[in-house]
A and B are shown apart, each in its own frame.
Chain A
Amino acid sequence: MAEHHAASDGKHKASANAGGSVHGNSRPGAAGGGGGGGGGKGGLSGGLTQPAGWQSLLSFSILFLACLAGFSSRLFAVIRFESIIHEFDPWFNYRSTHHLTTNGFFEFLNWFDERAWYPLGRIVGGTVYPGLMVTAGLIHYVLNLLHITVHIRDVCVFLAPVFSGLTAISTFLLTRELWNQGAGLLAACFIAIVPGYISRSVAGSFDNEGIAIFALQFTYYLWVKSVKTGSVFWTIGCCLSYFYMVSAWGGYVFIINLIPLHVFVLLLMQRYSRRVYIAYSTFYIVGLILSMQIPFVGFQPIRTSEHMAAAGVFALLQAYAFLQYLKDRLTRQEFQTLFFLGVSLAAGVVFLTVIYLTYTGIYAKIHIPIIASVSEHQPTTWVSFFFDLHILVCTFPAGLWFCIKNINDERVFVALYAISAVYFAGVMVRLMLTLTPVVCMLSAVAFSSVFEHYMGDDTKREKPPAEDSSDEDDKRNSGNLYDKAGKVRKHVSEQEKAEEGLGPNVKSIVTMLMLMLLMMFAVHCTWVTSNAYSSPSVVLASYNHDGTRNILDDFREAYYWLRQNTDEHARVMSWWDYGYQIAGMANRTTLVDNNTWNNSHIALVGKAMSSNESAAYQIMRSLDVDYVLIIFGGVIGYSGDDINKFLWMVRIAEGEHPKDIRESDYFTPQGEFRVDKAGSPTLLNCLMYKMSYYRFGEMQLDFRTPPGFDRTRNAEIGNKDIKFKHLEEAFTSEHWLVRIYKVKNLDNREPLDHKLRSVVPKQKYTSKKVAGHILFCCFNQK
């Protein structure tokens, strides 16, 4: 059985390669769109003497254009706003990179950051994946060596778009190994513009995923290459690429489970060969040693359950190879078969258990409130799939179908890749990122096989008959597999007629409609990139009726105020979302930040925010807080503000302090969360509410609404008379988006000797913020 399969497998491979070399010229035209189409045909008729030359020129230019398109469609944010680091995590990465470039690599590895998680601090060097910082630092160093003086910020901003080009190239290489060159070019074009990948790699999104997808694809390419060739050279390349991936992103676990799974399935399918043995043994040993060099990973690869599958498969492969060796020496076939069955069954059980453990681990983590509070960790609806992948999500199953029908060693890999990635993407929205490359590859396979049959008819007739017939022959065989009726083979001439019989009209209609679908895909991608994924979220924009734009730069205004007007060692309390930004932009000490490693510390901050003022003051005194920073969107209708996140603060605080904080206290008797008069008194008097709405009751935004009307929640606030005892307003930004309060020191102790004198504690509320208030009333959002 195995022999038979190996034989048919070889044939298919040959057919795929033949198809690639023959039809390669016509398909790039489809991939390149309208511009490339004419060039492809002209090139073919003129360059038949040197088809390889034309082909590589076309491939090169199409790849180059794909990279260029990918790069430029990621620049929306830079063109609309400026070259700025986006969102939250990138600010930490930027800060670390800055530290790396100013203090050197070893200083970076030993970096203890006393400005985060006050008073605990954070060992940064040992708790980050340094790949991103080192890459950016290296590029910066090389550029400066060449006397191209760029600021490190610009290197960081443009790193992800540059790497998207590299991802396109490695996707091309991988798809070429799996199917043929035409599919590879299509896949490169797809991945260059697909929103599922752009979402993590726009200019300014300086995050691990941006470079990790390149490393992922390149590792897979080298792995497929090493399974195909069985050469140690390619495997060592694969290990180095894996090392880069480990240094860049925690998602390397996906690789170290998928490759063993591939080997395991190959063994089950009795496709074991010396090539697989060499590739996997080398990969496992060298990759293991290299991955343990990253300080953050350390000894995890030999300790944790995620890595055990790899070790199990390694042991299994050795046992299998040993048995194969024995088989040559011994004659008792039956005994060996039984033995093999026993071993593989045991290994399979171990493997499944490990998978099960990993699965339950992931599943359990979803239900911890702090993880559940992050929207990225939600399961995925079909709308997100369609939004991020558009037509690719409907066509990639067809590609998977073709791959499984014409299976060989490396297509086993891509099928496993697709199935596991689609499962993980279904569980968690953010893992859409690992699904995207394989979807691009398989869709490219589907589209390319359609174009292959419907575009190349004119050229086929011109070809020498010998090559044509062999090509047809192979194609016939591959087609035969899913042809239900086993029909008698016809002669070459008859086939030719049949091939023509489909008619040029039908063929051109099919081609045209397919191209139209692809065009719609490109339009969709651009629209999504421009509308959904190109907002820096540090700078906001709003549009007036006449289409003019207002830039709301409140965040940076406030952070800059902190930087200029507060003590260098001042400690700023805020919800954890803003920790990295405060550290990066204001350069002040924070209590909690986006690296949510200490839940109880976060719960303490949540407790302070959700208690009343005097209870909160005690917590803040014990944490040495100097300033409190909150985000308030009620003036401009910004929905991502702290009041909307408030229930998560309560929930997380309740998890650690169930005696003091109860979620039900913050709801009305009807179980609603309201900020108006009907809201629960606990809510109306908690610190977060008071800080958000302090002086807001005096402010009339619009003549149609009463004073103190919250635009985000469309309600008039319930507590307009807010007075502070222990805090004072220090700063409020132009659109009230960021409000900063100073925590007052303890009052002086009353002197004991003047007993008759009654001391009234001085209560003077000065507001340092005035500018923009009057201007603001006229501000009209949307």
Chain B
Amino acid sequence: MASVWAKSFAHLPVLSVFFFLLLCLPPGGGQKKKENLLSEKVDQMMEWSSRRSVVRMNGDKFRRFVKAPPRNYSVIVMFTALQPQRQCSVCRQANEEYQVLANSWRYSSAFSNKLFFTVVDYDEGADVFQQLNMNSAPTFMHFPAKGKPKRADTFDLQRIGFASEQLAKWIADRTDVQIRVFRPPNYSGTIALALLVSLVGGLLYLRRNNLEFIYNKTGWAMAALCVVFAMTSGQMWNHIRGPPYAHKNPQNGQVSYIHGSSQAQFVAESHIILLLNAAITMGMVLLNEAATSKGDVGKRRIICLVGLGLVVFFFSFLLSIFRSKYHGYPYSFLIK
């Protein structure tokens, strides 16, 4: 054990003193040893967290600074798998939120040695995961200053989500440390908008002698229809609710693109609906064009029939999808 410590902390001069004490002190001086050990640990943790707001831990560090008993500080641990080969996108999002929270704590005026933020990556401390019987990442756990972690010390990720505000609330609940989450303001949206505006402005300026394309009605009509299709196929719902792209049944691996209930939808489903709506609209436009355009009769007749086919076929398809979602709906057309 000692050799392990030596290996990991050899570069720290403080540690050598500690080793000396540990080896030399007789067993009777337990109380003093404990205090020393504690202050060592606190100093060490403070030093790390002054360097980085979230302390990275491996198995040994975790056991020594988080699990081992003499402690007077609370530790929040995020168990995660951030390595790219693990392909855990949730972990990355959770990590961002966690960093925001840890930074808010690190740079707040109330920063003290009562609370530390640490992270254990699966690829650096798989043994910790085994030891704690943990088989999912990310998981947030709180290790209180005294006693073992209880049930409520595991953050309920499934239900509350991992927004830093929620994490802060949970921490306040468990440790009585209030953290005001300070998010670094997100300028990306503004910058993107400014970029877009300047791009459009620049383009207009470059082509200032030939501004015909602004008066192109087809372009404007296309843009308007894009907005309409996006909204009527429920893209706003996707934006606010963030549903999965499609559902894969874990038992038989079957992928379903249509959500079974009328209350929800998948992203893939909304794209299908978007295409169907667009096809029906195109059919209507073609019907109109076949009647008004001049040209070869045969060609116009084909356009007309294609338009009619688009409208009728895709509408009945749309109706059948609707019917499969809205249980008890009695009507169908062509397709059951």
> Using a CB–CB distance below 8 Å, which chain A residues touch chain B?
1, 5, 366, 379-383, 385-387, 391, 393-398, 400-402, 404-405, 407, 415, 418-419, 422-423, 425-427, 446, 449-450, 453-454, 475-476, 478-479, 481-483, 485, 487, 489-490, 495, 498, 501-503, 506, 509-510, 513, 517, 520, 523-524, 527, 662, 664, 667, 669, 671
Cβ < 8 Å to A, chain B residues 259-301: 262-265, 269-270, 273, 276-278, 280-281, 284-285, 287-295, 297, 300-301
- Name which residue of chain B comes closest to A499, CB basis: B291
Do A379 and B237 touch across chains, with their CB atoms under 8 A apart? yes
Q: Are the C-beta atoms of A398 and B304 separated by less than 8 Å?
A: no
| A402 in contact with B288 (CB, 8 Å) | yes
Residues of A within 8 A of B224 (CB): 400, 404, 415, 418-419
Chain B residues with Cβ below 8 Å from A453 are 287-288, 291-292
Residues in B with CB closer than 8 Å to A487 are 294-295
Q: Are B270 and A382 in contact (CB under 8 A)?
A: yes
Stretch at the interface among B7-15, B80-88, B213-221: B213-221
Tell me, yes or no, whether B325 is within 8 Å of chain A by CB: yes
B118 at the interface (CB under 8 A from A): no
Q: Is the CB of B292 within 8 A of A475?
A: yes
Query: Which residues of A have CB within 8 Å of B76?
Result: none
Q: Is the CB of B262 within 8 A of A395?
A: no
Known contacts A385-B232, A479-B293; A527 and B308 CB within 8 A of each other: no
Residues of B within 8 A of A454 (CB): 287, 291
**Would B265 and A397 count as touching, CB distance under 8 A?**
no
Distance in angstroms from B127 CB to nearest chain A CB is 26
Q: A39 vs B185: C-alpha distance in the bound complex, in angstroms?
A: 68
Residues B284 and A382 in contact, CB atoms below 8 Å apart: no
Is there contact, CB below 8 Å, between A381 and B265? yes
Alpha-carbon distance A487/B293, docked complex (angstroms): 10
Compute how far the CA of A495 lies from the CA of B293 in the bound complex, rounded to whole angstroms. Answer: 10
Please measure, in the bound complex, the distance between the C-alpha atom of A454 and the C-alpha atom of B286, giving whole angstroms: 13
Please judge, given known A-B contacts A398-B285, A404-B224, whether A393 and B232 are in contact too, CB under 8 Å: yes
**Which one of A379, A381, A485, A671 has the highest number of Cβ atoms from chain B below 10 Å of its Cβ?**
A381
Whether A513 contacts B312 in the complex (CB less than 8 A), given A423-B231, A664-B156, comes out as yes
Most buried by A among B294, B312, B333: B294
**In the assembled complex, B72 has its CB within 8 A of some CB on chain A:** no
* Besides the known contacts A394-B281, A397-B225, A398-B285, 7 further A-B residue pairs in the complex with CB atoms under 8 A apart: A382-B237, A385-B234, A401-B285, A453-B292, A482-B285, A502-B297, A520-B333
How many angstroms between the C-alpha atoms of A509 and B292 in the bound complex? 17
Neighbouring A residues of B264 by C-beta, 8 Å: 381
What distance in Å separates the Cβ of B325 from its nearest Cβ neighbour in chain A? 6
Q: In the complex, A666→B225 CA distance in Å? A: 47
Indicate whether A509 sits within 8 Å of B308 (C-beta atoms), given known contacts A395-B284, A671-B159.
yes
Q: Which residues from chain B sit less than 8 Å from chain A, CB to CB? A: 151-152, 156, 158-159, 173, 211, 215, 217-218, 220-221, 224-225, 227-237, 239-241, 262-265, 269-270, 273, 276-278, 280-281, 284-285, 287-295, 297, 300-301, 304-305, 308, 311-312, 314-315, 318, 322, 325-326, 329-331, 333
| A423→B275 CA distance, assembly (Å) | 18
Q: Tell me whether B156 and A419 are in contact (CB under 8 A).
A: no
Given contacts A394-B281, A490-B294, contact A383 B225 (CB under 8 A): no
Once the chains bind, are A483 and B235 in contact (CB under 8 Å)? no
A506 to B311: give the CA distance in the assembly, Å. Answer: 15
A653–chain B nearest beta-carbon distance, Å = 15
Contact A510-B304, Cβ < 8 Å, known A379-B236, A382-B270: yes
Flag if B231 contacts A383 (CB, 8 Å).
no
Which of A395, A418, A498 lies in contact with B297, CB distance below 8 A? A498
Asked if B241 and A527 sit within 8 Å, CB to CB, the answer is no
Q: Is there contact, CB below 8 Å, between B217 and A407?
A: yes
Asked if residues B289 and A419 are in contact (CB atoms below 8 Å), the reply is: no
A427 touches B236 (CB 8 A): yes
Residue of B221, B305, B326 near A400 (CB, 8 A) is B221
A744 to B315, CA, bound (A): 62
Min CB gap B195→A, angstroms: 16
Q: How far is the CB of A6 from chain B (nearest CB, A)?
A: 12
B314 CB to closest chain A CB (Å) equals 8
B236 and A5 form a contact (CB under 8 A): no
Q: Contacts A382-B270, A423-B231, A482-B289 given: A527-B263 contact, CB under 8 Å?
A: no
Give the nearest-CB partner of A428 in chain B: B236
Whether A401 contacts B281 in the complex (CB less than 8 A), given A1-B215, A520-B333, A664-B156, comes out as yes
Closest to B287 in A: A450
* C-alpha spacing A381/B240, complex, angstroms: 11
* Cβ–Cβ < 8 Å partners of B269 in chain A: 382
Which secondary structure dominates chain A's binding surface?
Answer: helix
Q: Which residues of B contact A476 (CB under 8 A)?
A: 292, 294
B218 with A482: CB separation less than 8 A: yes
Q: Are A483 and B294 in contact (CB under 8 A)?
A: yes
Q: Which residue on chain A has the smallest CB distance to residue B225?
A: A397
User: Nearest 6 pairs between A and B by C-beta?
Assistant: A453-B291, A479-B292, A501-B297, A398-B284, A426-B236, A426-B231
Minimum CB–CB distance from B225 to chain A (whole Å) comes to 5
Q: List 28 A-B contacts (CB under 8 A).
A: A366-B240, A379-B240, A382-B234, A382-B237, A383-B234, A383-B265, A385-B233, A386-B322, A393-B277, A394-B280, A395-B281, A397-B277, A398-B284, A400-B224, A401-B281, A405-B217, A422-B227, A426-B234, A475-B292, A476-B294, A479-B293, A483-B293, A487-B294, A502-B301, A502-B304, A527-B329, A669-B151, A671-B156
The residue in chain B whose Cβ has the minimal distance to the Cβ of A671 is B159
Residue of A nearest to B291 (CB): A453
Contact between chains at A394 and B293 (CB < 8 Å): no
How many Å lie between the Cα of A589 and that of B305 in the bound state?
A: 66
CB-nearest residue of chain A relative to B329?
A527
Residue contact A503 to B315, C-beta cutoff 8 Å = no
A379: B residues at CB distance < 8 A:
234, 236-237, 239-241
CB proximity of A636 to chain B, nearest CB, Å? 20
Set of chain B residues within 8 Å of A402, measured between Cβ atoms: 285, 288
Given the complex, which residues of B lie within 8 Å of A405, measured CB to CB?
217-218, 221
Instruction: For B169, give the chain A residue with the smallest CB separation.
Output: A658
A481 to B263, CA, bound (A): 42
List chain A residues, Cβ under 8 A from B300: 498, 501-502
Which of A382, A383, A401, A478 has most B Cβ within 10 Å? A382
Give the Cβ gap from B152 to chain A, nearest Cβ, in Å: 8
Q: How far is the CB of B60 from chain A (nearest CB, A)?
A: 31
Give min CB distance, A617 to chain B, whole Å: 27
Which chain B positions have C-beta within 8 A of A396?
228
Q: What distance in Å separates the Cβ of B102 from its nearest Cβ neighbour in chain A?
A: 23
Q: Which A residues lie within 8 Å of B314 (CB)?
A: 394
The chain B residue with its CB closest to the CB of A269 is B215
Chain A residues whose CB sits within 8 angstroms of the CB of B231 once the complex forms: 422-423, 425-426
Residues in B with CB closer than 8 Å to A667 are 159
Q: Pick the contact of A383 from B218, B287, B322 — CB < 8 Å?
A: B322
List of B residues within 8 angstroms of A398 by Cβ: 281, 284-285, 288
Q: Are B273 and A382 in contact (CB under 8 A)?
A: yes
**CA separation between A422 and B333, bound complex, in Å?**
27
Name the residue of chain B whose CB is nearest to the CB of A386. Answer: B322
Q: Give, as a whole number of angstroms, the nearest-CB distance from A420 to chain B.
A: 10
Q: Separation in Å of the B187 CB from the closest CB of chain A?
A: 15
Evaluate contact between A502 and B290: CB separation under 8 angstroms.
yes
Q: In chain A, what residue has the closest Cβ to B269?
A: A382
From residue B288, how far is it (CB to closest CB) to chain A in Å?
5
Question: Nearest A residue to B304 by beta-carbon distance?
Answer: A506
List of B residues within 8 angstroms of A517 by Cβ: 311-312, 315
Residues in B whose Cβ lies below 8 Å from that of A404:
217, 220-221, 224
* Known interface pairs A381-B237, A498-B294; A394-B301 also in contact (CB < 8 Å): no
Q: A382 touching B294 by the CB < 8 A rule?
A: no
Name the residue of chain B whose CB is nearest to the CB of A398: B284
Neighbouring A residues of B220 by C-beta, 8 Å: 404
Residue of B nearest to A479 (CB): B292
Chain A residues closer than 8 Å to B289, beta-carbon distance: 479, 482-483
Please indicate the chain B residues that have their CB under 8 angstroms from the CB of A483 in the complex. 289, 293-295
Q: How far is the CA of A394 from the CA of B230 in the complex (A)?
A: 12
